[in-house]
Amino acid sequence: MLQPYHAPPYNPMKKPLSQWCDETKITIEQRNPGQDRVAVWTCPLCQYALSGIKVGTSEMGAIALARMTMEEHMTSKHPQHVVTEN
C-alpha cells in the first residue's frame, strides 16, 4: 500500500538568494537638498539599513550595486535563511 507523501513544512524564512533580493525594496533617496542621492535598502530579517551607495550618473547602476550588497549581507549574516536555487 502506498503511503501518503507529506512535504516538509514550508518555511517562509528560507528562500533563494534571488527571491530575498527581489522582495527587498531598494529606493533612491536624497536626504537633504544639495546632498548626493543614494540607494537605500533595509534587511527584512535584522533591520540593518544600508544607505550609502551614491547614485552618480546611473540609478540602475546604483540599484545593481545595492542588490549586490544585499546578496553579500544575506550570505554572510543570514546563511541559515538562504537556500540553494534549483
pTM of the shown model: 0.77
Per-domain boundaries in the chain = 21-83
Q: Of the candidates 78, 65, 66, which has an alpha carbon nearest to the alpha carbon of residue 41?
A: 66
* Chain-centre distance for alpha carbon 61: 16
What is the pLDDT tens value at each position of the chain, 86 positions in all? 666 666 555 566 899 999 999 999 999 998 888 888 999 999 999 999 998 889 988 899 999 999 999 999 999 999 999 998 76
